[in-house]
Structure 1
Amino acid sequence: MTVITGPNEATKDSGLGALRGAGLVAVIVLGPLSIAILRLILPYGSGDDAATVAAKIADHPGAQAVTLWLTLIAMTTMVPGVIAVGLLAARHARTLGTWGMVLAVAGFSLLWATTSIDFAALAGVQSGIGQDNTAKLIGNLNANPGLTAATIVFVLGHILGTILIGVALLRRHVIPAWAAWMLIVSQPLHLVFAVIVPSPPLDTAAWALTTIGFAVAALAITTRSAGH
């Protein structure tokens, strides 16, 4: 028995496929994009001490509140996005892609370690306990061994993982070389401009490179899916 698919059903399937593709692209891109914006408006710098962080957040509570919402978007989309791009890389370069995905997922899964202070600091400022007590709270969080370990894994995992994913995509020509190189250099640049030579605009630019690389990879995923 032969089942004939009518034009309406074919159009419906095509529409659903396009919708799924758009959703996938959105999930993959939203993570790094939200962090790019976050790094630009974050009231304090990564090298600031606890007292300075408390003072700057007290001066800019609105910007800090927006930062927390962007953090929420990043925490819910980065891991699924990395898995999608990592699977694309692993499909073409198994060893590099798999290791990159594992490291990046491990790293981004611990994104909360670098953002817990943001939530606690704003809560301290808004609760009226004073900047001195807020600074003490931030200092105690920074000194927590578990939080320190999680932060180290986050930093190493997401930087090394993104590099390996980019190299895997570059070696197998899965995406254009310029896009793969954007992924490869983006997170080392983020480390430089967030910690070594702090510059919010350049740090944002580094995350913009990650966003573009992920966007190109997302389009490659949807194109291959449509082809099959």
Structure 2
Amino acid sequence: MSAPAMPGHERLLRVVLATAIVGGPLGYLVGGLLAPAIHGSARSTIDANAAANPVTNAVHLTAFVVASFLLPVGAAGLAHLAYRRTPWLASIGGLLGVLGWLLFSALAALDDLANTMAHVPDRSSYVALLDRFTNGAVMSAYLLVYVICHLVAYVMFGIALRRARVIPLWSAWAMIASSPFTIAAFALPGEPGPIAVAVGVAALTLLLIGSLPAAQAMATWHSPSGP
């Protein structure tokens, strides 16, 4: 007796989740590589956006917006992959991942705000406003929750997916290692320089590489065996 075909709704769900698992980190990586300023002062951020190539900056913003939609969905997909064999790790990691990545949209909007301020007359007059907005209580809380939740989530995802034997060991380690690399990029003192950018790119590259087997596992249909 032949194995049953995958239902259309199941195929659609798996394709969407697999795309989100790998597309979210990819969008983040592309946007980060093209961003004219990363975690700089308000003045340097506005000046960098003013001097940036408008095409590459538009791609950077578009990539971040796309990533802001895909990353929370991808976190839910990773939790789904590990849930059957590691329900607690998968549930906690999934909740933290979705919560953390939902706030990435606020950071993408902040980049768009800085770009808008950079292209209005007398842009220097907006430096104090951007500085107060970026370092205010709301954005500081968003940033704190975003950083803690998504970094902890990917450590848990790496452990859970490996325990569930969904991904190989190297993939789990790449996923886990992306978190300390990200912490290192944030922790380097002063304005972000080439070293901090390189460490940040390495973190996102590890996350992307580690996510590839998980996306493949999501897209692969294992039909139940017949009687």
- Which TM bucket (shorter chain)? 0.7 to 0.9
Paired residues of 1:51 and 1:135 also in contact (CA < 8 A): yes
How far residue 15 of structure 1 moved from its aligned partner, in angstroms, is: 9.0
Q: Structure 1 residue aligned with 2:209, among 201, 209, 212?
A: 212
Q: Distance in 2 between matches of 1:66 and 1:195?
A: 27
**Aligned: 1:138 with 2:130:** yes
Q: Map 1:124-163 to 2 at 5 A.
A: 124-130=117-123, 132-163=124-155
Unaligned runs of 5+ in 1: none
Instruction: Give the C-alpha shift of residue 22 in structure 1.
Output: 4.4
Which secondary structure does the structure 2 equivalent of 1:92 belong to? coil
The alignment partner of 1:147 has SS state of: helix
1:194, CA displacement in angstroms? 4.3
Q: Take 1:105 and 1:21, find their aligned partners in 2: how far apart are those partners?
A: 18
Compare the two structures and name the one with the higher helix fraction.
1
Which of 173, 186, 191 aligns to 2:178? It is 186
Map 1:9-20; keep pairs closer than 5 Å: none
Out of 73, 77, 86, which is 2:79 matched to?
86
Please say if residues 36 and 48 of structure 2, whose CA atoms lie closer than 8 Å, have aligned partners that are also in contact.
yes
Q: What is residue 227 of structure 1 aligned with on the other side?
A: 223
Moved over 4 A (4+): 13-23
Quickly say closer, same or farther: Cα 1:195–1:59, change in 2 above 3 A: farther
- TM-score between the two structures when normalised by the length of structure 1: 0.84
Q: How many residue pairs get matched?
A: 217
In the other structure, the counterpart of 2:166 is: 174
Q: Take 1:156 and 1:122, find their aligned partners in 2: how far apart are those partners? A: 27
Q: CA deviation at 1:20?
A: 6.1
Partner of 2:166, secondary structure, is coil
CA distance in 2, matches of 1:129, 1:140: 18
Superimposed CA distance per residue, residues 76-113 of structure 1 (whole angstroms, 9 cap, x where no aligned partner): 11111110111112222111111111111110011123
Deviation larger for 53-62 or 29-38: 53-62
Amino acid at match of 1:175: I
Contact in 2 for aligned 1:42/1:67 (Cα 8 Å): yes
The root-mean-square deviation of aligned C-alpha atoms, in Å, is: 2.5
1: CA distance between counterparts of 2:52 and 2:98?
32
Instruction: Check whether the contact 1:85–1:217 (CA below 8 A) recurs between aligned residues.
Output: yes
CA contact (8 A) 1:36 1:205 kept: no
Stretches of structure 2 lacking an aligned partner (at least 5 in a row): none
Computing the radius of gyration from Cα coordinates, the structure with the larger value is: 1
Percent identity between the aligned chains? 27
The TM-score, its normalising length taken from structure 2, stands at: 0.85
